[in-house]
Amino acid sequence: MSKRNRNQYQRPRRLPWWVWTTAAGAIIGLALYGSAARAHADPIDDEAAALKISVCSTLDDYPSVAGVLGVMDSLTDHGATAHQAAGVVVAAITQDCPRHIGLLAEFGSQSQAA
């Protein structure tokens, strides 16, 4: 084998240790920065979570179509539009208390009949 052929099959050079250390530090730093940026509380999300808990507890106490209507009336009395109130009730039931899905279906069928 000629000298040229031997050089052709040599292993590639390894990168120095400081390159790997710097790259690992940058990746870990970005991961920590990204998770810290998302960790702050969002007041709108906190309020929505509180509303959903309230909806579920009210429907636990009043598991009827009248209970669903009462929750929606309460939300509209506190400044929500009917569309927003319906969105909060649907989100609460589907995400936090799916045990009340039957009430939601019954409410929907009764409101369509009226």
Report the pLDDT value the prediction gives residue 41, as an integer from 0 to 100. Answer: 53
Count of domains for the chain: 1
For residue 20, tell me if it sits in a domain: no
For residue 6, tell me if it sits in a domain: no
DSSP string, 4-41: HHHHHTPPPPPPPHHHHHHHHHHHHHHHHHHHHHH-S-
- Stated pTM of the model: 0.58
For residue 104, tell me if it sits in a domain: yes
For residue 66, tell me if it sits in a domain: yes
Widest Cα–Cα separation across the chain: 94
Its domain, for residue 96, covers 43-113
| Per-position pLDDT tens, the chain of length 114 | 555 555 566 666 665 656 666 666 666 666 655 555 454 555 556 677 788 888 889 989 989 888 888 888 888 888 888 888 888 888 888 888 889 888 888 887 776 665
